[in-house]
Amino acid sequence: MTVLENLWFRRLLAGLSGLLAGYAALAVAELVAAAAVRPEAGPVTAVGGAAIDRTPAPVKDWAIRTFGESDKLVLQLGIVAVLAALAVVLGLVALRHRRVGAAGVLLFGVVGAVAATSRPDSDSFTDGVPSLAGALAGAALLRWLTGLLIAPARAAASASGEGWDRRGFLIAASAAAVASTGAGVVGRTLGASRARDATSSRAAVVLPRPDSLAAPVPKGAQLRVAGVSRFVTPNKDFYRVDTALVVPTVDATRWRLRIHGRGVRRPLTLTFQDLLDRELVERDITLACVSNEVGGPYVGNARWIGVRLADLLAEAGVKPPSKGGPADQLVARSVDGMTLGTPVEDVMDGRDALLAVGMNGEPLPFDHGFPVRMVVPGLYGYVSACKWIEDIELTTFDAYDPYWVKRTWAREAPIKTQSRIDTPKPFARPAAGIVMVAGVAWAQHRGIDVVEVRVDDAPWERADLATEGTIDTWRQWSFPWKATPGSHTLTVRATDRTGQTQTEKRTRTIPDGASGWHSVVVTVD
């Protein structure tokens, strides 16, 4: 090997040392998190979560729009890619300045530790320990490996004139890779065993027959038009929007819900079984996300089983503001630290605000909040639908801003009347003749009274409405269109039972939900 080749080879190996140090740091950190602290304190989850907390709402909205429900995977891959690149750089730096390289790794440990302790669900400095422990391991490894690259040669190596111990380096590097992988696997396995407890607690749930059943879905609620959304959204197709990088897996047998705060005369602590033993109601309720663009997919309808939240609050001695109660905001907190604020008045005004335990005939899926979540008809999810709930605090809007409100979303957010064309799809090429235009419209807790369709600039025409489920569910509609060849724009708008027609004015989703009419352009052949 020439001197120059040798130099490049050592640089390559230095970069590799950096990568290995980063890999070891992550593996050790994840192991310490799983074994001694808690899985959420692992650096990738912590840094990712902290990044989500700090991302300005418009950027987050863009990420949801662009990557959809893969947004978190993209974020995690991004974090790993950035870490890998920085690790290579630190390896190269360490070839010259071993201390600086190691110090760089430690610095990342500090960043990870700060991120972990700053998460909303972090209540202890021990959450910083995994990142620091990992960084120490990574720094030590980097020093050691780069030391082998620049160490005075042993006899064999110096005989070859390369000035460093190639064999020693390769053995050390392989050993480090194997040890790190081992640490990572043990960490993962420990994490998996907690998840198993949660999974078996879910498998053991037998939902009692609700005391108050939902009426069967009316036959006419589901149109027989290909391409229209199903009236009941199957759980596997139900949209998911949350900030959880790792879906919380809660063991229902250990779960507790606390209800406390202003105006609570009898604070309550409930187990999952306590909830199942109470009066259960079954209701069809359509959930919608405030981040849903006009025409977007973040809306779904399910048959929920749960306890009426108003009953529990009354039992705790809570009065709504209209009856002189001191608390106007109910803050729900999840096991992962998310907070959502709901008007107490809305929860207690007679609507079916639920602490839900069942979704479409099964216990809540983990993605949708097992073991218990809130569902409040008529309010966007971020101000009502707390998944993995563990705490309810009665307070005031003046006293506390929950997670999204701190990030400039509206304090109160009733769902805006909306309608969507499900079929034909944008840029479809239907044949001339009768084309069935169909979709859904929703105005939860008010009900949909009229849906109209406009073809190009022609006058609005009434669509046929499917039978209403309830005022808390979306409603299907259809419109037999005499399609003529050429390009056409189809537009839909709905009117709710208060007589309000959707405004044409397009607004962004921030701060309180998108408004505007959904249009689809098609070309008729």
Ligand X SMILES: Nc1nc2c(c(=O)[nH]1)N[C@H]1C(S)=C(S)[C@@H](COP(=O)(O)O)O[C@H]1N2
Question: Which residues are at the interface with ligand X (CB under 6 A)?
Answer: 238-244, 287, 289, 334, 336, 338, 368, 381-382, 385-388
Q: In angstroms, rounded to a whole number, what is the distance separating the alpha carbons of residues 391 and 137?
A: 38
Closest CB to Mo ion among 281 and 340?
340
Tell me which H or E stretch contains 475.
strand 475-483
Tell me which H or E stretch contains 90.
helix 71-96
Q: In angstroms, rounded to a whole number, what is the distance separating the alpha carbons of residues 338 and 358?
A: 21
Q: Which does 299 bind (CB under 5 to 8 A by kind): ligand X, Mo ion, none?
A: none
Q: State the minimum distance, in angstroms, from the CB of residue 233 to Mo ion.
A: 15
Q: Which does 517 bind (CB under 5 to 8 A by kind): Mo ion, ligand X, none?
A: none
Query: CA 131, 136, 139, 140 torsion: positive or negative?
Result: negative
Contact set for Mo ion, span 338-397 (CB under 5 A):
381-382
Closest CB to ligand X among 164 and 382?
382
Judged by CB under 5 A, the stretch of 219-227, 239-247, 388-396, 466-474 that binds Mo ion is 239-247
Asked if residues 474 and 520 have their Cβ atoms less than 8 Å apart, the reply is no
Q: Which does 243 bind (CB under 5 to 8 A by kind): ligand X, Mo ion, none?
A: ligand X
Closest CB to ligand X among 47 and 383?
383
Closest CB to ligand X among 131 and 243?
243
Q: Cis peptide leading into 459, omega within 30 of 0?
A: no
Joined together, the tokens standing for residue 355 give: 């602490």
Q: Which does 338 bind (CB under 5 to 8 A by kind): ligand X, Mo ion, none?
A: ligand X
Q: Which does 388 bind (CB under 5 to 8 A by kind): Mo ion, ligand X, none?
A: ligand X
Q: Which of 521, 525, 501 is nearest to 449 (CA)?
A: 501
Residue from 135, 245, 289, 492 in contact with Mo ion (CB under 5 A) = 289
Closest CB to ligand X among 241 and 436?
241
Residue nearest to Mo ion (CB): 289
Q: Which does 394 bind (CB under 5 to 8 A by kind): ligand X, Mo ion, none?
A: none
Please report the DSSP string for 39-50 in residue order: GGGSHHHHHHHH
Q: Which does 287 bind (CB under 5 to 8 A by kind): ligand X, Mo ion, none?
A: ligand X
Closest CB to ligand X among 18 and 341?
341
Q: In angstroms, rounded to a whole number, what is the distance separating the alpha carbons of residues 445 and 287?
A: 11
Asked if residues 344 and 318 have their Cβ atoms less than 8 Å apart, the reply is yes
Q: In angstroms, rounded to a whole number, what is the distance separating the alpha carbons of residues 465 and 468?
A: 8
Q: State the minimum distance, in angstroms, from the CB of residue 236 to ligand X.
A: 12
Q: In angstroms, rounded to a whole number, what is the distance separating the alpha carbons of residues 116 and 322?
A: 41
Q: Is 391 exposed, middle or buried (0-12, 13-18, 19+ CB in 10 A)?
A: middle
Q: Cis peptide leading into 152, omega within 30 of 0?
A: no
Q: State the minimum distance, in angstroms, from the CB of residue 296 to ligand X.
A: 12
Sequence letter at residue 104: G
Q: Total residues contacting Mo ion (rule CB under 5 A)?
A: 4
Asked if residues 415 and 450 have their Cβ atoms less than 8 Å apart, the reply is no
Binding to Mo ion by residue 241, rule CB under 5 A? yes
Q: State the minimum distance, in angstroms, from the CB of residue 375 to Mo ion.
A: 13
Closest CB to ligand X among 243 and 502?
243
Q: State the minimum distance, in angstroms, from the CB of residue 385 to Mo ion.
A: 8
> Any idea which residue has 């030391």 for tokens?
147
Q: State the minimum distance, in angstroms, from the CB of residue 272 to ligand X.
A: 17
Sequence letter at residue 75: L
Q: Which does 238 bind (CB under 5 to 8 A by kind): Mo ion, ligand X, none?
A: ligand X
Q: Which does 33 bind (CB under 5 to 8 A by kind): ligand X, Mo ion, none?
A: none
Q: State the minimum distance, in angstroms, from the CB of residue 287 to ligand X.
A: 6
Q: Within 13 Å and on the Cβ side, how many CA atoms surround 494?
A: 31
Closest CB to Mo ion among 157 and 241?
241
Per-residue b/e over 207-234, b at no fewer than 16 CB within 10 Å? eeebeeebeebeeebbbebeebbebbbe
Closest CB to Mo ion among 60 and 488?
60
Closest CB to ligand X among 306 and 381?
381
Residue nearest to ligand X (CB): 381
| Phi–psi pair at 389, nearest 5 degrees | -65, 145
Sequence letter at residue 336: D
Judged by CB under 5 A, the stretch of 38-46, 155-163, 236-244, 485-493 that binds Mo ion is 236-244
Q: Which does 386 bind (CB under 5 to 8 A by kind): ligand X, Mo ion, none?
A: ligand X
Q: State the minimum distance, in angstroms, from the CB of residue 298 to ligand X.
A: 6
Closest CB to ligand X among 244 and 463?
244
Joined together, the tokens standing for residue 235 give: 């759980």
Asked if residues 89 and 19 have their Cβ atoms less than 8 Å apart, the reply is no
Q: State the minimum distance, in angstroms, from the CB of residue 384 to ligand X.
A: 8
Joined together, the tokens standing for residue 310 give: 């108003």
Q: State the minimum distance, in angstroms, from the CB of residue 404 to ligand X.
A: 7
Q: How far is CA 450 from CA 415, 463, 465, 494, in A?
A: 17, 8, 7, 6
Q: State the minimum distance, in angstroms, from the CB of residue 23 to Mo ion.
A: 36
Angular region, 161: left φ>0, alpha ψ -120 to 50, beta rest:
left
Q: Which stretches of the chain bind Mo ion, using CB under 5 A? A: 241, 289, 381-382
